[in-house]
Chain A
Amino acid sequence: MGKTLDVQLKCYHCGSECRDGDIAAGGKIFCCQGCRTVYEILEINDLSRYYALSASPGTSQKKISTKEKFEYLDHAEASAKLLDLTDGIVSVITLFIPQMHCSSCIWLLENLYKFNAGIQYSRVNFLQKKITIRFNESIISLKNVVELLTAIGYEPEINLSSTEKESEEDERNKKSRDKSIYYKTGVAGFCFGNIMLLSFPEYLSIVNNVDLFLKSIFSYLILLLSLPVFFYCSSDYFSSAVRALQKKMINIDFPISLGILALFGRSIYEILSSSGTGYMDSLSGLVFFLLLGRMFQDKTYDILNFERNYKSYFPAYAVIKNEEREQSIPLSALKVGDRIIIRNDELIPADSVLICGRANIDYSFVSGESAAVEIPEGSIIHAGGRQRGTALELEVIKKTSQSYITQLWNNSDFTKPDENKIAAFSILAGKYFTLAVLLTAGISGICWLNTGIAQALNVFTSVLIVACPCALALSAPFTLGSTLRIFGRSRFYLKNASVVEKLSGINHVVFDKTGTLTSLNERSIRFYGSDLSQEDNEAIKSVLHNSIHPLSRSILKLYPEVRLVETENFREYPGRGLEGKVQGRKIRLGSVSFVIGTEAGGVPSGNSSSVYVSIDDDIKGFFRAGNIYREGLKDLAGCLQNYEVSVLSGDYDGEKETLRDILGTKAKMFFRQSPYDKLSHIKKLQNQNKRTLMIGDGLNDAGALMKSDVGISISEEAVNFSPACDAILEAQEFGKLGEFLKFSKISMKIIYMNLAVSLLYNIAGVGFAVNNSLTPVISAILMPLSSITVVLLATAATNLAAKIKGLK
């Protein structure tokens, strides 16, 4: 079908443009064979509603994975680890499916049982992009389930970490831990609502005695409702205060527990001796707001995982060659001496020796060298590099867990600086506040001693009650919680709220070069040499067109509109160059030695990644690929004036000058840094008690990221791999890093402002308490009022500041 190129054809399955309309089925056009296959499978199983729910819902199927890719799942050992539950016949598995993005995906993935009766049911959790499938092993094996998912375009991502399940028990208590916060808040909310309504008559002080009986019923009901609040809902605060005390430290939870204890004790005494109505509504209100603060603060991102290590970077399987048959086995079963086959764009799972094949290894992600390295046969290739080019055969010399890069993880000073160093602010507040409160309570108690022991006790407990730091303890969670959300909205995801506080204390910023300052996949290619005519361009493009080498792919991008011409006797010398005849003219492209034969002088030399061009043996010039620096780097450098800046790179120092004029002369540069050098550099900085912020992206930065006070990892797309860190920043927001740092300082200022406001309330409260006129009504108004003002002030101020700073 002679369709002209200009009409934009959209693939019915995945919506990408298709060059020509020859791949079609059922009157619909597809961009590739893969998409067409998926369409046909759905058509046969009467699931074509998939396309009705949303327009072109699929993802492009250009890269079809090889048939035996999932063979390793047949190994009992691998599948046992992957399955959630199994009773021999029926088993349940949860898989991570990144391609899930719309309601059609949900619909299709929940109708898997229509494909095969063996699948009993499948349920999707859209936010976490996970699917839980229960299937009958006697009818359909785990391998078939995964192959079915791949066949319909939803290949699950299975890596080494998913095959090593955390132990059953700590997964369960992780789930139950975050549920207990729901129970506590629910019960606290229930009791607070009802106690407040029950204590309403008390606010309006029932006058005549007829209702005295009613008043006692209300008091006992209030007492009953406050028991769960005291014994269940506020148990966290008591336990954390006791834990801190055991370590001879007073944290913010200590005065809170003191306040709750005083409130409860005083109220119990008053109700039972019916000499008052007690402060149960202030107590339940306080606990309810504190719990709300905690829920608001530990907002988690469903898809992101901040504790990734090398295991989630390596694949779960390796293809080994025994007796001339290729077979895929789980990575954990890989032994020293096995022969493994690595294809283009696949990862080398373990340190091994190259047996045969042209190795062109891209180590940028692992060791930081940006250019691909050509490694001759017989030499050692480290685990973690990606092969760019034809298939290789290697022999394993070390198991994955002992390979060079993964040694980092069992390095002694890899441990994170002790996590329970609770944010400085809360210790400071805890200690001084408690001191102040106990002092005022004691003194005012003594002053009232001469009028009577009862009044003295009254005053003592009133001071403890009203001076409880509820407002103080609420300003941090709500401010930091809102900052967390504001950063999240501009695609800067923090692990938890205390990271904001650490960010504000940073004074030294350390950058990694490859992948952080420079962007990995776009490479700027320019042609150096005499200018080329139109036919020359056509000839070059036609020759390059039929080579799959990544370099030729990126050069092709320079000629989008140029016409394609017929090329005869095209030959590709892997790792050296290409050769072809176009309209009778001989074109040669490739490395220096291939195109010119010798290191000819006079021709401008590029580094190893430049591609020379000769037409009929006349050298025209060469294409050189340079790194592009992330946009926004210039003004970021501007913002970081008052920070010390240093760059650690695993690469050569070729880019030293360009970096110097961007980052300014003050920046210190270190090149050829191994992961250990980076780790020790951060340790050195910390010894000069510098507060370091490390920004990196690759595995080689994992050590430095872990060690530095705050580790931010850059990732092109939030879902794919980023090493263990405190925050994930999406690549396109790199320019805003300066603003984020400044904003974290602002939020600390907002916390201190709230501190002042809550101190004002406390002073007013203590004023009442000291002259023994703290009636329940006043406390019932003062306590919620102070908490609500601080909460509103914290959230409003943070959001307002974000709007002003343009972060919203």
Chain B
Amino acid sequence: MDKNKPAYSSDAGKTAGGGAAVQVETFSYDNQIVRSFALATIIWGVIGMLVGLIAAVQLFWPQLNLGIQYVSFGRIRPLHTNAVIFAFVGNAIFMGVYYSLQRLCRTRMYSDLLGKINFWGWQLIILSAVITFALGYITSKEYAELEWPIDIAIAVVWVIFGINLLGTLLKRREPHMYVAIWFYIATWVTVAILHIVNSFEIPVSLFKSYSLYAGVQDALVEWWYGHNAVAFFLTTPYLGLMYYFLPKAANRPIYSYRLSIIHFWSLIFIYIWAGPHHLLYTALPDWAQSLGTVFSIMLIAPSWGGMINGLLTLRGAWDKVREEPVLKFMVVAVTAYGMATFEGPMLALKNVNAALHYTDWIIAHVHIGALGWNGFLTFGILYWLIPKLYRTELFSRKLANVHFWIGTLGIVFVALSLYWAAVTQSLMWKQFTPLGVLQYPNFLETVLKIIPMYVIRAIGASAYFAGVIIMIVNLVKTMKKGHFQKDEMAEAPLVMHNGGEKGHRWLESRPVQFTIAAAVAILIGGIVEFIPTFLVKSNIPTIASVKPLTALEQQGRDIYQREGCNNCHSQMIRPFRSETQRYGKYSKAGEYVYDHPFLWGSKRTGPDLHREGGKYPDQWHYYHMQNPSSMSPGSIMPSYAWLYTQKIDIGQTASKISALRKIGVPYVAGYENVANEELARQALAIQKRLIANGIAVEADREIIAIIAYLQRLGTDIKVTQAMK
């Protein structure tokens, strides 16, 4: 080096050789697990969205399912929701958490093995979901449609992820836990509890179970889970990802770190109360409904706190946002988050809800959140992360911009068309002629009116899907260009907790974590025991005339559930004149006392069926199920040809009856032994009526069971009228 060596020469700094135990540790970040989750995100994203696109097209062109039962709308809609939520967003969360947690804690993950188990376990669960949904093993509880063995698998894999997360935190080299980590912890804790509470089912066979709760209670638990699954699986982890990846992409600190701390704690203290706003004007007690409304309005503050914090991080860097596609994606994502979290509370207002519940507006609200917030933020992270993992530049920024504009157009088309359809349909439902009679008594007229909007929605969806394809091309070319760096070397000083506190870092943090973990374990154990005893005795005012379903009707209900009829038909008539005139007396809580699980449904693509019993003769149903447009011309309901060939699975009748009795359905003692004879007798009666009307059908076909169930729906109330 030149003669005038710097006053403080550097080599004096370097200790020659050993010296005291060097506190600086070199280690490596595990990028392998991050890349595998990234690839899974992309693959499942494409599959989930493709299934969604198919479902969208089937809504105006039912024949697309080519008569194959495994791709009929009822079965692929749950596949779409679970694939997009748990596969696409799930894997994206794991990708983001595994990448950012290591950097935030400046340490490798707690154990690579647990990471691999977490990865392969999650992919296996998704695969099993694809198979079981296609086969019809669906529990009909929205966003929790998986059967009980898979629920257990999910719980196990989620706990493994939790152990990995907690372990990494315990051996972190950075004492401060950045706000994103708190969001990850909140996600893990709440999703664990939500999933366990909502998965209480009595198994009947390997792939059949009945929900422990009944009717109104089942609805409340399902939507307490449903909303919080959206909250703690689609929002909280993504807020964590936003707080890490947005500053990294913009290379600027978050606007106000203090606001993010307030935002987190105010959100988490009371967030878990949400849920009842999904059941406004249903049979839920009205104070619970108002509670849901008030709570949703209160939610605007913390959600918008997050949005403002995210957007203001970019103030002063807007010119960078113009050229940088990653930032463009993130800005639109955060804005969509703001819009969706404002639209939600508005939808929770009772009068707005009265008009828009069961319409396409809800679907639009969901897709602004999903396509805008989750989708775009995931794309933003992928465009930032893949080049970094492969230590190269993005293949083409122009392609990324094209994807951005096509995607945004896609969202706009999907949302606007559904808003338009929802308003049209809702007004038509409620329209009365001056004489006080429904202007559109036939439900089909309201459906035919909005088919063009479904077409526009499908176009928007395919634009969004095309954008994803463009992204894949771009990312694959980027991967080819760079070389993947399995373990990223890093160096960090061993940091004791705040200053030279005595005691080893492990010991110091262990008592705290242990007490919490132990408390949670005991609680969950305790809950599993005492819940069943509590729940069996439900104190809903039972209506004397409401009796449990007969064996044949119960088989018909299970087929109804298998085919996913609740995706398009609701079974909950609200106390509005427009609905009581169209369908009959409004539904009371007492009628659902023996419904395991509840089948209220959340969307009326087809009419409400709760008073279907006795409305049409058996042969109408027979022909309608075979070819819907024969009975109601132009109907978009797919045909169910396989119901006419498949036999009713009478082998399971006995175990079904005893399982239902165990969870409180008052079947007469010993009924399960005579159940099949009674089933056969009832089936013969229906067959005789059909033959009288010139229809040749075997008595053991599934169509008979469906007809029996449909004719029984809502008839228990009428009995009392007749008696009076």
| Residues in chain A within 8 A of chain B (CB atoms) | 37-38, 40-41, 44-45, 64, 84-87, 90-92, 103, 113, 115-118, 120-123, 132, 134, 136, 138-139, 147-148, 151-152, 186, 189-190, 193-194, 197, 200-201, 204, 206, 210-211
Contacts and interface: CB of A to CB of B under 8 A. Distances in A.
B182 to A, nearest CB: 14
B7 A134 contact: no
A90 B294 CA distance: 56
B534 interface: no
A279 B724 CA distance: 47
A247 to B, nearest CB: 37
Contacts of B15: 116-118, 139
Main secondary structure of the interface of A (DSSP, over half): mixed
B269 to A, nearest CB: 5
B494 A121 contact: yes
Contacts of B24: 113, 117, 120
B619 interface: no
Contacts of A41: 6, 8, 10
A120 B499 CA distance: 11
Interface string B1-40: 1000011111111110001101110000000000000000
10 contacts: A44-B9, A45-B10, A85-B499, A120-B24, A121-B493, A134-B499, A136-B20, A139-B15, A139-B19, A210-B539
Interface stretch (B282-290, B443-451, B643-651, B701-709): B282-290
Contacts of A200: 287, 290-291, 294
Interface string B259-280: 0000001100110010000000
A86 B502 CA distance: 11
Interface in B346-371: none
B64 interface: no
B500 interface: yes
A90 B500 CA distance: 8
Interface of B: 1, 6-15, 19-20, 22-24, 253, 265-266, 269-270, 273, 285-288, 290-291, 294-295, 493-496, 499-500, 539, 541
Nearest to B253: A103
Given A41-B10, A84-B499, A189-B269, A117 B19 contact: yes
Contacts of B11: 44
A148 B204 CA distance: 73
Given A40-B6, A139-B20, A201 B499 contact: no
A92 B499 contact: yes
Contact of B270 (A118, A136, A193, A201): A193
B499 A204 contact: no
Contact of B493 (A40, A64, A120, A211): A120
Given A113-B23, A139-B15, A92 B269 contact: no
A263 B285 CA distance: 30
Contacts, number: 102
A152 to B, nearest CB: 8
Which 5 pairs show the lowest CB-CB distances between chains A and B?
A151-B8, A121-B493, A44-B10, A120-B23, A116-B13
Given A103-B253, A139-B20, 14 more contacts: A37-B7, A44-B6, A44-B9, A86-B500, A115-B13, A121-B493, A121-B495, A136-B20, A151-B8, A197-B294, A200-B294, A201-B287, A201-B288, A211-B285
Q: Max chain A CB contacts within 10 Å: which of B1, B8, B12, B19?
A: B8
A134 B496 contact: yes
Contacts of B12: 116
A206 B290 CA distance: 12
Given A41-B8, A44-B10, A201-B291, A113 B539 contact: no
Contacts of A44: 1, 6, 9-11
Contact of B287 (A38, A115, A118, A206): A206
Contacts of A138: 20
Contacts of B539: 210
A334 B294 CA distance: 70
B500 A113 contact: no
Residue of A84, A87, A189 contacting most chain B CB atoms (<10 Å): A189
A489 to B, nearest CB: 15
Contacts of A148: 8, 13
Nearest to B298: A193
Nearest to B18: A117
Interface centre among B22, B265, B273, B287 (most CB of A within 10 A): B287
A45 B13 contact: yes
Contacts of A90: 500
Contacts of A37: 6-7
The residue among B7, B12, B13, B287 with the most chain A CB atoms within 10 A of its own CB is: B13
B496 to A, nearest CB: 7
Nearest to A25: B2
Contacts of A118: 15, 20
Contacts of A201: 287-288, 291
Nearest to A86: B500
Contacts of B8: 41, 147-148, 151-152
Given A186-B265, A200-B287, A117 B541 contact: no
A103 B250 CA distance: 14
A447 B19 CA distance: 87
Contact of A204 (B273, B287, B495): B287
Given A40-B6, A148-B8, A120 B291 contact: no
Contacts of A64: 7
A14 to B, nearest CB: 16
A189 B266 contact: yes
A643 B19 CA distance: 70
A151 B253 CA distance: 28
A196 to B, nearest CB: 9
B494 A120 contact: yes
Contacts of B13: 45, 115-117, 148
A115 B295 CA distance: 55
A638 B11 CA distance: 64
B102 to A, nearest CB: 18
Contacts of B286: 204
B7 A210 contact: no
Contacts of B495: 121, 123
Given A37-B7, A132-B499, A121 B291 contact: no
B10 A115 contact: yes
A87 B501 CA distance: 11
A241 B443 CA distance: 70
B23 A121 contact: yes
A147 B539 CA distance: 77
A211 B10 CA distance: 77
B684 to A, nearest CB: 43
A211 B541 CA distance: 11
Nearest to A148: B8
Contacts of A116: 12-15
Contacts of A86: 500
A186 B6 CA distance: 52
B14 A117 contact: yes
B270 A197 contact: yes
Contacts of B253: 103
A194 B499 contact: no
A64 B4 CA distance: 15
B280 to A, nearest CB: 14
Given A85-B500, A136-B20, A139-B15, A194 B270 contact: yes
Contact of B22 (A40, A117, A123, A186): A117
A736 to B, nearest CB: 27
A561 B504 CA distance: 66
Given A41-B10, A115-B13, A123-B495, A92 B500 contact: yes
A201 B284 CA distance: 13
Nearest to A38: B6
A115 B12 CA distance: 9
Contacts of A45: 10, 13
A91 B495 CA distance: 13
A429 to B, nearest CB: 30
A83 to B, nearest CB: 10
A197 B288 CA distance: 10
